[in-house]
Structure 1
Amino acid sequence: MSTPLRLVIFDVDGTLVDSQSDIVAAMTLAYAAVNEPVPPRAEILGVVGLSLDVIFPLLMPQMSAQGHAQMCEAYKNAYMEMRAQAGVKQSSPLYPGALEALHGLQSEPDILLGVATGKSKRGLDKLIEGHGLEGLFVTQQVADFHPSKPHPSMILQAMADAGVEARDTVMIGDTSFDMDMAAAAGVRGIGVGWGYHGRERLSAASVLIEDFAGLRPVLNEMWKVSA
């Protein structure tokens, strides 16, 4: 019997790349644009992964929709400017082992790779170009076209694009939003220990890994069970 196609979907910020410095800096400028004090760093990183149109109402519920839109625009402009000045590889460096893991998985004929991120399409395109990741992901789901995580829309569309069933799909991410999205879509979630949410927030994950070297053994075990 032939091996079924498998789909491995990755979150981006906090999972593949460490963009926290630029995220916090852009948030600081977004708050400055509306003359409001910046929340603690941990609070900012705690909402990474959500779409911007959800983040600002969550952090600033007392502010008007116009104010939220102003903050969103200020954030986008600041982030783009910092990325342009520093370059993608410095602005959002890949975590150790990420590139090797991606290429290793892609080299296997029965494995397809995807992305599900709160980034915009423009932001993801720049990131992929900057790190030379073109051609790695058969499906790329971004905030422009979906409800914010943890709604399962991104994963459901990724599975439809790839033609892969839920039992053969896994979601890899660093936040509770990723793991809750996976659960909502009926797929298993692999939480990573190096991102922006602590282990205590990843209770919905099927398993946790501490580095990319631990990814393939976990996938092998999962797929053995589901075979």
Structure 2
Amino acid sequence: MTLSAGARAQLAYLLRGARALLLDFDGPVAHLFAGHPAPDVADAVRHFATVRGIDLSKVHTSDPLVLLRAAYRHSPDSGRDVEAHVIEHETRAAAVAQPTPGAHELIRTAASAGHHVLVVSNNSERAIRTYLARHDLTDHVAHIIGRPFGHPEQMKPDPHLLRAALDIARAAPADAVFIGDSITDAIAGTAAAVPCIGYATDPERAEGLTDADALAVVDDMHILAVALRA
């Protein structure tokens, strides 16, 4: 993606002015299910649920988190059982996940410049910690705000996780910037009044992020690291 001088200046302004840098995990930091594919995980979760008398056969999705929400609609006990199983798969996936090019550079650059780096994700904290430890990033990330166990209603697009991140960082929304790769991220950012930068390598998704009020959209995380150093 070729950015105009004005777009580059806007990114630099957003990033350098943000005391707290909030990052979604799956997408902007890593391709979580690159080595442990999400459709395979979804099939495993369906089987796990079926054995326990939870019928998820009519939930047509390859997204394990959609199945997790459906299990909680069945009953809280069912949801907790399925969520524990999803966490196991997320953690296995994190052990072989592929880094998003430029993401580690951005995290290290931001941390070294004194920014408060937080990962804010619908994925489990355990999986995120596993990934960060693998790549020697633990000391560069101040906090992880992952999916609260037993509370799928607090996942994005609900702004709960972003507001929790702001509280932990003791930052006002205007003192933060959130980088996400989905429309639900942009919706959560808007609801929490946090400026949102979208990350998308697909033009259709990029358009969706723009329509959802992302202030800027990039297709390469290196661009953000460069903008932060500018």
- Which category of TM-score, normalised to the shorter sequence, fits these structures? 0.7 to 0.9
Alignment correspondent of 1:214: 223
Amino acid corresponding to residue 6 of structure 1 in structure 2: R
Matches within 5 A, 1:30-179: 30-35=45-50, 43-45=61-63, 52=65, 55-56=66-67, 64-65=74-75, 68-80=79-91, 82-83=92-93, 88=95, 91-109=96-114, 111-144=115-148, 147-179=154-186
2:87–2:126: 8 Å Cα contact kept in structure 1? no
Unaligned runs of 5+ in 2: 1-15, 51-55
Alignment correspondent of 1:224: none
What do you get for the CA RMSD once the two structures are aligned? 3.1
Q: Deviations over 1:8-61 (max 9, x none)?
A: 100001220002342332112111234565977xx435xx7xxx4xx2265579
The correspondence for 1:28, drawn from 26, 39, 43, is 43
Residue aligned with 2:140, SS: coil
Q: CA deviation at 1:188?
A: 0.7
Q: CA deviation at 1:97?
A: 1.5
* TM-score normalised according to structure 1 size: 0.74
Residue aligned with 1:12, SS: coil
Unaligned runs of 5+ in 1: 222-227
- Distance in 2 between residues matched to 1:59 and 1:210, nearest whole Å: 32
Query: 1:5/1:201 Cα in 2 relative to 1: closer, same or farther (>3 Å)?
Result: closer
- Distance in 2 between residues matched to 1:120 and 1:163, nearest whole Å: 23
Q: CA deviation at 1:96?
A: 1.2
Amino acid corresponding to residue 191 of structure 2 in structure 1: A
Query: 1:185/1:175 Cα in 2 relative to 1: closer, same or farther (>3 Å)?
Result: same
* TM-score normalised according to structure 2 size: 0.73
Runs of 4+ in 1 over 6 A off after TM superposition: none
Among all aligned residue pairs of Structure 1 and Structure 2, give the percentage whose two residues are the same amino acid.
Answer: 20
The total of aligned residue pairs comes to 201
